[in-house]
A and B are shown apart, each in its own frame.
Chain A
Amino acid sequence: MSVAPDLTTGKVLYLEHITLSFDGFKALNDLTLYVDPGELRCIIGANGAGKTTMMDVITGKTRPDSGTAWFGRTINLLRLSEPEIAQAGIGRKFQKPTVFEQLTVVENLELSLGGKKTFWHSFMATLSVAERARIDEVLVITGLTTQRRLRAGGLSHGQKQWLEIGMLLMQNPKLLLVDEPVAGMTPQETERTAELLLSLAGEHSVVVVEHDMEFVRSIAKVVTVLHEGHVLAEGTMDQVQNDQRVKEVYLGAS
C-alpha cells in the first residue's frame, strides 16, 4: 500500500487554489503553496490565518470546498483517507504532545513503524533486526536512548515533543508537518528542538507552524506568511519582515 510519492516534477507538495469556508467564514481563501523536497519551511501568521486548517486539509482531516492538493506528481490527497495519507508518507505532529502515555518510549516508536497495520498482522508481528536498528537510530536522533523503557507519561514536556517527532520519523515520511513544536519549552529545550528539526531537513521535507519568531529565525530558510486564508508573502525571514503588507497585518502589530 505504501506508494512513494513521485517527485519527478520537482515538488513534494502542491496546494493550489484551496478554498474552505465554515459557515460563511473563509478559513482558507484561494491558498496556493508548494514545498520542495528536503526543504525546511516555516509558516507564520496570526491566529485564524488558516495555518492549522491548512494542515487539516493536507492530512485529510478536513476536505476543502475547492482547489487541489497533490503529494508529489501522482498522489491526490483529496481522495485519500487519513490513514492512507499517513501511510503515503505525510506525518503530522500536533500542537499538544500526543504520545501514548501508558506505553513506553520504545512501544510508542514500535507502533509508529511503517508496514502492514491490519489487526491480525499486528497480532503476529515481532520486531525484525532492521526495525530494532531503526528504533535505536531514532532514539539517538531524539536523544531518548536512556528513557527507552520509561512510560511516555513520565517524560518531560520537551521529551514528549521529541518522542512525537521520533514517532513521525519511524514512518520515514517524505513530508513532516510540525505544529508549534516549541510552545511551552524551556530555552534549552527550544534550542535542542531547533537542532533536531534542522537535522531532519534534507532527508525529509519539514513544514513548521510556529508563533515564536526567534525560533523561526533560527531555523528557517524560507518563510511563508499566511493571512486570512491565503499566502501574503513568501521569502527569507528578512524579506518577509521587510515586506510592507506583512508589517501592516502581522508584524506591525507587535
Chain B
Amino acid sequence: MTTLLHRRYTDGQLNALIDSSPAEIATLTDDHRRSLTSRFRAVSLTQHRRLDAWAVEQAGRVGGPFHWSPSTARRVIANGALRRHLARPDTSMLVCVHDEIDAQLTRVVAGHVRPGSLASWLSTLSRPALGLTVAEAVNGATQLAHVANAIEREWQLPDSDAYYDVAAARTTLRARRDLIVDRDGARVVLRLRAGAPGKSAGPGLRADMTIDTLADLEGVAPSRFIGLWPEAGVMLCVDGTMADLRAGARDLVRTAVAQRRSALSLAA
C-alpha cells in the first residue's frame, strides 16, 4: 500500500514529519533498473524526452514550449543565492541574489553559455525586467531560508537536481529537490512548490522520489520525500517504501506511454 500524509505547514509539524520518517528504507537493485529500462525502451520516441513530476501530474499532456520568466527563473537563482548567503551569512539576501545574477551574466560575457539557457535569457533583459527577476528571486530565497532555518536537524542544499538517464531509451528523468535533511544516516528530501497542491500532487511526489532513488548510486531511497507548498501552508509527504517506488515508476512509464500516443497521433 502506498503512503501519503497531509499536514498543515508549521515549523513544528515539519520537524515532526522529519523525525517520524520511517527507519526502514527500500533500495532499488540492478534488476529493478533493468526492468524499468526495458519498459521505457518499449515506448521510445524518435526524439529525446525528459520526464519529471510535472509531466506525471499533467498525465503526459504536452504543454507549450518552455519560456524563461521571472517566475520560472526564481527557483534556480534563489537556490544559488541562498548557497551564497550560507557561505557569507553577513551578506544580505538581496546582495546574494545580485551576486548570483552577476555570476550568470559573467558566463555570458565569457561565452560559456548556450542559447536558451538562464544566463542567456538574463543577458537579454531590460533593467526593469531584471529588477522584477531579482524581486522574485529574493522572495524565493527568503522563503527557502525560512524553511531551512526552522529544521532542527542537519541539512544541506543539493548541488543540483537529481537526473537519471534511462539507457538506450532516449529518456532523461529529472527530480527537483531543494533541501536534503540528514536523519540518522538516512535522508529526507524537501521540495518547495508554488501555489496549492492539486489532486495529482501525490503521484508527482512519488515520481520525484523514485527518480531521486534511481539517481542515487546505491539505489537507496530517501526515508521520506516532503512536498511543501508555503503559499497554501500545506505539506504532503510520501515514504521511501518499495510500494511507493513501484507506484512512482509506474506513473513515469504511464506518462511516457501517454506522451508517445500523443506524438503518434500528431504525426498521423
Instruction: Answer whether A and B are interacting partners.
Output: no
**Which residues of A are in contact with B by a Cβ distance under 8 Å?**
none
**Which residues of B are in contact with A by a Cβ distance under 8 Å?**
none
